[in-house]
């Protein structure tokens, strides 16, 4: 089976530590990401979020593989939300080994304006679940630093407290969206004893470092529904894994 994890196969989501986007310091924006206008077109909105995406697995990555990534810019659109204007960018990555695609991935990025005083979101707690499987995690600054380092992610909201709070308006250091997706992907893989055929995820609310969360999963029709839920009941990210 294409998604079966054999002995020694690399962990699910490992492609995110490969082929990092390395930019010279002069080419970084104020947030630590490569500035727009290089690969991503120049946008008039300064705050960047990895808001969600989808992965389709045609095979696994294994030790000794030489992996290449081909990236293509997709749709770019603008909308207006409760927090103000939003810019949406879709990027497709093909992860290949010996010319064969192992992972097809779409990443959804969102760009926003700087926060305005007095404008705060109050997410509603989600309904209770009776999950089939639960993991409990409390992300701390060391975890965020290590994940930023291994993925070569320079986004300052994950390690620079003054920047995260004073410039981008968060209540503390922000837990990476891909890290939360990684928790759910690994939980679904553990439940299936193999990679899912596809995995779709979407961010709903910020997760601030130091807040304990539950990674919850339940069988739902022909899929596995997953979510990251804070102690106050708010879901920060949700996902669907298709076997």
Higher pLDDT, 223 or 1: 223
Alpha carbons 200 and 17: distance in angstroms, whole number? 19
- Please report the sign of the dihedral spanned by the C-alpha atoms of residue 159, residue 162, residue 167, residue 173: positive
Q: Which residue has the higher pLDDT, 39 or 153?
A: 153
Are 96 and 68 in contact by the 8 Å Cβ rule? The answer is yes
- 3-state DSSP call for residue 218? strand
pLDDT at 6: 59
Which residues, 6 or more positions from 127, have their beta carbon under 8 angstroms from its beta carbon? Answer: none
Helices vs strands, H then E, count in the chain: 3, 9
Q: What's the first-to-final CA gap in the chain, in angstroms?
A: 11
Tokens of 34: 């490569």
Give the model's pLDDT for residue 44. Answer: 79
pLDDT band at 194 (very low <50, low <70, confident <90, very high): very high
Which of 129, 163, 158, 131 shows the shortest CA–CA distance to 142? 158
Buried b (16+ CB within 10 A) or exposed e, 215-235: bbbbeeeebbbbbbbbeeebb
pLDDT by residue (tens digit) across 162-190? 999 999 999 999 999 999 999 999 999 99
Q: What is the pLDDT of residues 132-165, one digit of tens each?
A: 999 999 999 999 999 999 999 999 999 999 999 9
Residue-wise pLDDT tens digits, 45-88: 888 888 999 999 999 999 999 999 999 998 888 888 777 788 88
Q: Apex CA 135: angle with CA 49 and CA 182, to 5°? A: 35
CATH number for the domain whose boundaries are 26-113+124-242: 3.10.129.10
Q: Per-domain residue ranges for the chain? A: 26-113+124-242
Predicted model pTM: 0.90
């Amino acid at each position: 089976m294409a998604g079966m994890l054999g002995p020694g196969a690399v962990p699910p989501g490992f492609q995110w530590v490969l082929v990092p986007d390395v930019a010279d310091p002069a080419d970084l924006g104020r947030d630590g990401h490569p500035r727009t206008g290089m690969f991503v077109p120049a946008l008039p909105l300064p705050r960047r979020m990895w808001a969600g995406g989808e992965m389709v697995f045609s095979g696994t990555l294994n030790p000794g593989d030489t992996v290449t990534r081909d990236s293509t810019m997709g749709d770019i659109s603008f909308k207006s939300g409760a927090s103000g204007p939003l810019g949406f960018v879709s990027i497709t990555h093909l992860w290949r080994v010996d010319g064969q695609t192992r992972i097809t991935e779409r990443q959804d990025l969102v760009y926003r304006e700087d926060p305005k005083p007095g404008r705060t979101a109050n997410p509603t707690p989600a309904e209770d679940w009776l999950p089939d499987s639960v993991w409990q995690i409390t992300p701390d600054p060391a975890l965020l630093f290590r994940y930023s380092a291994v993925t070569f992610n320079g986004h300052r909201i994950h390690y620079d407290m003054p920047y995260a709070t004073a410039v981008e308006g968060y209540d503390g250091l922000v837990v990476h969206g891909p890290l939360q997706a990684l928790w759910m992907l690994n939980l679904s893989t553990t439940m299936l004893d193999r990679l899912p055929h596809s995995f779709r995820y979407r961010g709903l609310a910020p997760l601030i470092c130091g807040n304990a969360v539950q990674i919850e999963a339940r069988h739902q029709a022909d899929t596995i529904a997953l979510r990251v839920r804070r102690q106050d009941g708010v879901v920060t990210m949700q996902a669907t894994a298709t076997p």
